[in-house]
Structure 1
Amino acid sequence: MPRPPPRPAMLRRLLLLCLCALLPLSALAQAPVEGTDYVRIADGARWKPAPGTVEVVEIFAYPCGHCDQFRPMLAAWKRGAGKDVRLHHLPAAYDPGNAYARAYFALEALGRAAELHPRLFDAIHREGSLPARGASTGEMVAFLAAEGLDPERVAAAMASPATDEKMNAARAFAVRSGLQGTPTLIINGKYRVQARTLRDSLRIADALIAMERAIPR
């Protein structure tokens, strides 16, 4: 016995299901909600402006356990984020004498940040070869010397006027962004990500990056 033809309402539902199946997963993802998933930064500015790129700044602190957990997740995310995405790590530098933050800027000046940034996390959170809080300049210099750096160059870089300027700029960036904790992602200097989980912060960052890419240049 032949089946009756589909009703119009059923046809509409089937068509909708077929269209949804053709959409990319990103189009079906929930759009980020301002005030819940992110905060728009008034008069925001990028950390290191570069034309044709979307800037993602991770504000972190070496003693922060969540930052330690986030580090490999962020590194994996960056590999698939797109060639136009520029990721910068920025230490939370509220205290001008913070030896952890000064060590990071010294590593940048010496061209060794990419290599030794993960090692500082390991030293604090897995090896115990650096204190989890209140590390001195001498302790940071000794650790980096053990990693093969010239201790005099490290000490000079940590104390340099250039590092002083970066510490001041990092503090101003954090204050302007309304930093409430670490790790925090800042997109193009315009949006501060707010997330319930570390993984969710990356989802929100992806959505905000897509918003920025859609803006006519």
Structure 2
Amino acid sequence: MTRNTRLTLALIAVVVLVVGGLLAVNRPDHPPAATTDTGAIESTVLVREDSHRLSTAADGKVTLVEFLDFECESCAAAYPAVKQILATYQDRITVVVRYFPIPSHPNADLAARAAQAAANQGRFPDMYVQLFENQTRWGHQEQPQTELFLGYARALGLDLPRFQRDLDDPATATRVAKDKADGVAAGVQGTPTFFLNGRRLTDLRGQDDLVAAIDAALAG
């Protein structure tokens, strides 16, 4: 074997190792979610038994799922539309919220844990409102906003010692992480991401597009 041949083989081996390493690093921790025959994401991934519902339709015909980050400005921008949809459709559709905190948002995970700690006392919808309506006060702050979130819990009349314990409980972090894992499996890459009856809604330009999609699902 000539020297050039040996060098070529060595170079090929290096390339194979580098590519293999990149594939290992970029391989998702969670496998993609299964889809139905119609291409929709399996409902068991998008909506778990313990998922938080802002409204529930008795007929189960239409379900809107939002993966969100409480610190995300785009999620805050979408919040009024979701609020209006809840007021308009009430119990005609099911609206589900899933956690998907973005690592670059310093208080996103803490906010999700605050919402979950409130949920443990049956007050998720109220903390959901507090976090979004006050996002400009606590969002994009480098320091943990624990005291502010405790203030929201106090304003809601929650059991503060229990709220504080749950906020710091590893089980709460695990609960948030389970939502995010489902989001990753469903192909969520950013927030907010909406799914209507298992299908991801793309190219949403505003509330009118979301309303039109819901109306079409109700009529179908």
Aligned-partner SS, 2:134:
helix
Q: Residues 122 and 207 (structure 1 numbering): CA distance in 2 closer, same or farther, change over 3 Å?
A: closer
RMSD of the TM alignment (CA)?
3.1
C-alpha distance in structure 1 between counterparts of 2:215 and 2:182, whole Å = 22
C-alpha distance in structure 2 between counterparts of 1:145 and 1:84, whole Å = 30
Deviation at 1:170, TM superposition (A): 0.4
Deviation at 1:102, TM superposition (A): 0.8
Deviation at 1:182, TM superposition (A): 1.5
Q: Residues 133 and 178 (structure 1 numbering): CA distance in 2 closer, same or farther, change over 3 Å?
A: farther
Please tell me the residue identity of whatever aligns with 1:195.
D
Name which of 40, 63, 66 aligns with 2:71: 63
Deviation at 1:176, TM superposition (A): 1.9
Which 10-residue stretch deviates more, 167-176 or 81-90?
A: 81-90
Contact 1:58-1:185 at 8 Å conserved across structures: yes
Structure 1 equivalent of residue 126 of structure 2 = 115
Q: Residues 42 and 111 (structure 1 numbering): CA distance in 2 closer, same or farther, change over 3 Å?
A: closer
Q: Residues 131 and 66 (structure 1 numbering): CA distance in 2 closer, same or farther, change over 3 Å?
A: closer
Q: Residues 48 and 175 (structure 1 numbering): CA distance in 2 closer, same or farther, change over 3 Å?
A: same
Q: Residues 175 and 41 (structure 1 numbering): CA distance in 2 closer, same or farther, change over 3 Å?
A: farther
1:202 counterpart = 2:210: yes
Question: Over residues 180-209 of structure 1, what are the superposed CA-to-partner deviations in whole Å (9 max), with x where a residue is unaligned?
Answer: 322221123x21111241325413531563
Q: List gaps (5 residues or longer) in structure 2.
A: 1-37, 50-55
Question: Over residues 87-106 of structure 1, what are the superposed CA-to-partner deviations in whole Å (9 max), with x where a residue is unaligned?
Answer: 122221466x9101111111
* Residues matched between the structures, number: 169
Structure 2 equivalent of residue 143 of structure 1 = 151
C-alpha distance in structure 2 between counterparts of 1:42 and 1:73, whole Å = 24
C-alpha distance in structure 2 between counterparts of 1:141 and 1:47, whole Å = 26
- TM-score, length basis structure 2: 0.63
1:177 counterpart = 2:193: no
Please tell me the residue identity of whatever aligns with 2:199.
Y
Please tell me the residue identity of whatever aligns with 2:178.
A
C-alpha distance in structure 1 between counterparts of 2:204 and 2:65, whole Å = 18
C-alpha distance in structure 2 between counterparts of 1:185 and 1:192, whole Å = 6
Q: List gaps (5 residues or longer) in structure 1.
A: 1-38
- TM-score, length basis structure 1: 0.63
Please tell me the residue identity of whatever aligns with 2:144.
S
C-alpha distance in structure 2 between counterparts of 1:172 and 1:201, whole Å = 27
Deviation at 1:168, TM superposition (A): 2.8
Name which of 87, 108, 111 aligns with 1:100: 111
Please tell me the residue identity of whatever aligns with 1:60.
L
Aligned-partner SS, 1:89:
strand
Q: Which runs of 4+ in 1 moved over 6 A?
A: none
Q: Which has the higher helix share?
A: 2
Task: State, as a whole percentage, how many aligned pairs show the same letter.
Answer: 21
C-alpha distance in structure 2 between counterparts of 1:140 and 1:92, whole Å = 21
- 1:7-18 equivalences in 2 (<5 Å): none
From the CA coordinates, give the structure whose radius of gyration is larger: 1
Q: Residues 140 and 173 (structure 1 numbering): CA distance in 2 closer, same or farther, change over 3 Å?
A: farther
Structure 2 equivalent of residue 52 of structure 1 = 59
Contact 2:76-2:135 at 8 Å conserved across structures: no
Question: Over residues 30-69 of structure 1, what are the superposed CA-to-partner deviations in whole Å (9 max), with x where a residue is unaligned?
Answer: xxxxxxxxx9445453414688313211111121222112
Aligned-partner SS, 1:83:
helix
Aligned-partner SS, 1:88:
strand
Please tell me the residue identity of whatever aligns with 1:198.
G
